[in-house]
Amino acid sequence: MAGLKALFDKQGFVSLDAANAFMEQATGMSLDEFDEPENDDPRYLAQQLAYDAMEAPSDKQASRLAREALKVHPDCVDALTIVAELTRSPTKRLLLFEEAVKVAEKLLGADFFAENKGHFWGMLETRPYMRAKKGLVDELLNARRPIEAMRHLEEMLELCPGDNMGARFDLMETYLMTDHLEQALDLLNRYPEEAGAIWNWSAVLIYYSLRDFDAAAQALDVARRQNPYVEPYLTRKKKLPPEQPEFYEFGKNSEAVICADQLIGPWSLQPVALAWLIFGGRPGDGRYSGILTDAKR
């Protein structure tokens, strides 16, 4: 995409018709068939080094390329993000991600955010910022600072409602972990086409926690049909593997592992909901064991 953008910039089209004519002529051709546009702009050169760092076969090589990019252009956001990712100290790593986000915000400018809100990620120049912001979110969550992470995730969805980066899944977990149930329900309804395990098992917990037990029972039927492998992990009848799968298949155990890893925390905060999963029935019907009660919120 970066190569295509550079190629278009080189053409200097003066009209949409000229651009369309060029596209028709170029259809089916490889970028390698065009002369690579000459560009000695430090920002462009640093970005190319950052792209090379992303594809480097080792962390050592990635670090070297990223630092080389920063020598060419100190404000290369992707290079700052890569350096942050490869930093061992959690405290320093968090600070570096914060710096990368601030630099990206300054480079884009307040007017850019106002004019292009809703279209981020679809625009190539926004992606370094979004990558840095996602890295910052991950570090905040690891540092047990969910409220701060929540605000960043909400901003990401405002900037990119299509959510190419999957911020909605982290935001859902954060809402559930911090008892922001109404916000969780709103987020659930904002993406009605989402049919994966994380969304389905989140819906069960949301409706149950809000005491809409009929909706919770219906949601449980849907969740069990879509992926029955999740439930044994949530109820601790089955242990999660030490590592998550690189890829997952819809409705299979691989998806269940990823889902349970994200939702086992929120579910563990709702022992009565877990008891309902294990024993069934409805609240107050005598099927719960021990001292668990369905206390009104």
Residue 292 confidence (pLDDT): 47
**Of the given ranges (29-38, 80-89, 148-157), which has the lowest mean pLDDT?**
29-38
At residue 96, φ and ψ (nearest 5 deg) are -70, -35
Q: Over 60-115, what HEC string results?
A: HHHHHHHHHHHHHCCCCHHHHHHHHHCCCCHHHHHHHHHHHHHHHHHHHCHHHHHH
Residue 37 confidence (pLDDT): 55
Query: What pTM was computed for the model?
Result: 0.83
Q: 185-211 burial, b for 16+ CB within 10 Å, e for fewer?
A: bebbeeeeebebbbbbbbbbbbbbbee
Ordered by start, the domain boundaries in the chain are: 1-38, 166-297
| Residue of 214 and 184 predicted with greater confidence | 184
Residues 6+ apart with CB under 8 A from 272: 283, 288, 292, 293, 294, 295
Residue 280 confidence (pLDDT): 81
| Residue of 38 and 244 predicted with greater confidence | 244
Nearest-CA neighbor of 255 among 128, 263, 172, 174? Answer: 263
Average pLDDT, the chain: 89
Nearest-CA neighbor of 133 among 92, 91, 99? Answer: 99
Please answer whether residues 260 and 233 qualify as being in contact, where contact means their C-beta atoms are separated by less than 8 angstroms. yes
Above 50 in pLDDT, residue 262?
yes
Largest CA distance in the chain: 76
Nearest-CA neighbor of 70 among 56, 93, 53? Answer: 53
Question: What's the pLDDT tens digit per position in 149-191?
Answer: 999 999 999 999 999 999 999 999 999 999 999 999 999 999 9
Q: What percent of the chain has pLDDT over 70?
A: 82
Which of the four pLDDT bands, split at 50, 70 and 90, describes residue 290? Answer: very low
- How many CB atoms are located within 10 Å of the residue 223 CB? 21
